[in-house]
Chain A
Amino acid sequence: MSEPAVDDFVQLLTPDGERVQHPDFSFEGSDETIAGYLREMILARRFDSEATALQRKGELGLWPPALGQEAAQVGSASATRLPDYVFPSYREHAIALHLGVDPVEMLSTFRGTAMAPWANDIPGMHVYSFVIGTQTLHAVGYAMGLQRDGLVGNADPDANGAAMVYFGDGATSQGDVNEAFIFAASYTAPVVFFCQNNQWAISEPIALQSKIPLYRRASGFGFPGVRVDGNDVLAVHAVTSWALDRARRGKGPALIEAYTYRMGAHTTSDDPTKYRSNDETEHWRQRDPISRVQTYLQNRGAIDQVWLDAVDAECEELAVRVREGCLTLREPTLEEFFEHTVIDPGEVLLEQRDEYLEYEAGFADHPDADADDETHVQVQEAF
């Protein structure tokens, strides 16, 4: 894979852990703040690997790993504050953790014990969206609501808010995403389009979705676009802060292309060895989002082995909680899902629910299906 031009690639921390200057963007936070990001990224990665392991053991139906995208997620989510509102896709685990989602509850969606009720309690985040790109339009509409509620362009910057929506490189091909760009531009909506370009849409490389760097598409729609080193948490934070601030002040949308890499499979059902090379993965391993921050802080003397050991202990604690918690997630009944299909369900649906309950209740008396195995063999012959 040839690497696209990185002419406007904003980077503030190199893969070797060196701080570098950029003419337009800077990170002003303290070493303590940076250590906070590092801690979040390490914990998010551990959560991700535990979830992957749980899927491998059959405890989750599926898991889409965020491995390698920790800086893009922590760097951007940490630039938000209420009344900002985040619309995730389905791989935004580090963002969800940052915004306060309980990691065990999050697994319920992937264990199949719930839809996504865990997002309901989080004031700054919408539920995961699994239909590619659909949430971009929702974010624009939400931003239009913020405008109408007088939460944009106030003199007091703390009173202002914006929407930020996450999507992938593949999603940029969807009609919905392009329509979202147009609506946002037309209404100068306070929305930040945050594209995590992780180079792969399952097996399809970015070159199939775009012949130009994605961030340049923004200019065609009439708003600024910036490409940032998505594996550099400082640069991501700086660029996202700029875009959010701009949106909150009423200056309209911006597109951020966080240039990163999906280090793992698309999901646990995917086998990336079928379509990409080890060399490529290795190339990106050298640009790991976590190690550069650790190197930087260690070189500065801002963290030491004691600090790292403490985070490691936190990881172990998280891992135990996730492993044990997953197995104790409450098992639902189908009846519950009749309850939130629609407000005022009407007689037909209520009758269906009652028939279901009656059927389930009578099941104990029903002749049991001992014959199943035997029948199975006969079917093989008959069918």
Chain B
Amino acid sequence: MATMTLAKALNAGLRRALEADPKVLLAGEDIGKLGGVFRITEHLQRDFGPDRVIDSPLAESGILGTAVGLAMRGYRPVVEIQFDGFVYPAYDQIVSQVSRLYYRTHGHLKMPIVIRIPYGGGIGAIEHHSESPEAYFAHTPGLKVVTCSNPLDAYWMMQQAIASNNPIVFFEPKRRYHEKGEVDTEIEPMPLFQARVVKPGDDLTLITYGPMVRTCVEAALAAGEEGHNIEVIDLRSLAPLDMPTVIESVTKTGRAIVVHEAAMTLGMGSEIAARLQQACFYSLEAPVLRVTGYDIPYPPSRVESAYLPDLDRVLDAVDRSMAY
């Protein structure tokens, strides 16, 4: 058991994956000598060499397109997109090729590619450095989409994603990179595509993922002081969704709020709300609510705190749901 930051846990997970399988390769801009702009790959090129930890030319489409070819040769590329807002030049390769080659070849060709993307806001960044594009990828058949919220998951989910034969978009909550937690490197981790009940409760279910998990736990504790016993679910996997865990919870509590940073319209909350009204129609005591970013491009940093869901906005929704 060790205490480490989420960033260090990702680094440790990548290191262990590189050790476990010589076919694992890392590629991305500035990931070598610099160790990535967030230092997630720090010292990995030093220790595993430039053939396995590859500094890519500055071209995201190139990074993903060459990952396809490497995967065809039996390699397991783990690519880093430097910031969420820079994934779009690679979007065509991801949605037209990476996600589909298994389908196009009738199950012959596997694409064991992990696409790491630091995402989300709250770090005072300039444009294109605070986005939450997960729904674009969760919407794409053939892709798995996961996101960690704490160091333990970061460590284990990264290794599980790399070991998976599916293409996986792995979203890393960059504003939580420096938060510390206990990481047990000896346990049997829970399945990758399974949601986790972070905090049990009976009155209402907060359904969230990534950077908002901590915010929701804080909100649940604050609501507890007002006598509301809130359950918090960390989805961990956005595609596929672990609906049994969510449905079990909402059937019990009768109230659900989905919380994410991404814009509301056609975000993860839309899908979850639709599924809940279908699966839990007779259990619901209130409409499923969403607390999300607004349907505008991510704003300049001086107003990002007004854009991002925070403890107060979650509590406001809790009040509305409980009062319904």
Q: A204 touching B300 by the CB < 8 A rule?
A: no
Interface stretch (choices A35-43, A65-73, A78-86, A331-339): A331-339
Given contacts A61-B126, A115-B300, A274-B34, contact A175 B316 (CB under 8 A): no
Asked whether any CB of chain A lies closer than 8 Å to the CB of B228, the reply is no
* Bound form: Cα–Cα A115–B295 in Å: 17
Q: Which residues of A contact B301 (CB under 8 A)?
A: 61, 112
Given contacts A61-B126, A369-B311, A379-B217, contact A275 B198 (CB under 8 A): no
Q: A131 touching B86 by the CB < 8 A rule?
A: yes
Interface stretch (choices B25-33, B154-162, B275-283): B25-33
Q: CB < 8 Å: which of A61, A356, A360, A383 contacts B294? A: A356
> Could you tell me how many residues of chain A have their Cβ less than 8 Å away from some Cβ of chain B?
53
Query: In chain A between 12 and 53, which residues have their CB closer than 8 angstroms to a CB of chain B?
Result: none
Asked whether any CB of chain B lies closer than 8 Å to the CB of A95, the reply is no
Report A355-380 CB contacts with B as 1/0, cut-off 8 Å: 01001100100100101100110110
Q: Which residues of B contact A113 (CB under 8 A)?
A: 300, 302
Given contacts A132-B58, A332-B302, contact A203 B181 (CB under 8 A): no
Q: B30 touching A204 by the CB < 8 A rule?
A: yes
Q: Which residues of B contact A114 (CB under 8 A)?
A: 300
Q: CB < 8 Å: which of B57, B59, B61, B306 contacts A360? A: B306
Chain B residue at minimum C-beta to C-beta distance from A356:
B294
Asked whether any CB of chain B lies closer than 8 Å to the CB of A202, the reply is yes
Q: CB < 8 Å: which of A62, A360, A378 contacts B221? A: A378
Report A163-204 CB contacts with B as 1/0, cut-off 8 Å: 000000011011110000000000000000000000001111
Q: A176 touching B89 by the CB < 8 A rule?
A: yes
Q: Which residues of A contact B303 (CB under 8 A)?
A: 112, 332-334, 337
Query: In chain B between 284 and 324, which residues have their CB closer than 8 angstroms to a CB of chain A?
Result: 294-297, 299-304, 306-307, 311-313, 316
Asked whether any CB of chain A lies closer than 8 Å to the CB of B218, the reply is yes
Residues of A within 8 A of B (CB): 61-62, 109-115, 130-132, 170-171, 173-176, 201-204, 208-209, 269-270, 274-275, 331-334, 337-338, 341, 348-349, 352-353, 356, 359-360, 363, 366, 369, 371-372, 375-376, 378-379, 382-383
Instruction: Please provide the 8 A-B residue pairs with the shortest distance between their CB atoms, ordered closest to farther.
Output: A112-B301, A203-B34, A170-B58, A173-B57, A334-B306, A341-B296, A173-B59, A112-B300
**22 residue pairs A–B, Cβ–Cβ below 8 Å:** A109-B127, A109-B300, A131-B86, A131-B89, A131-B128, A132-B58, A132-B86, A173-B58, A174-B89, A201-B29, A202-B30, A203-B32, A204-B57, A208-B55, A269-B37, A352-B295, A359-B313, A372-B218, A375-B221, A382-B221, A383-B181, A383-B198
Residues of B within 8 A of A (CB): 29-30, 32-35, 37, 55, 57-59, 61-62, 85-86, 88-89, 124-128, 150, 181, 198-199, 213-214, 217-218, 221-222, 225, 264-265, 294-297, 299-304, 306-307, 311-313, 316
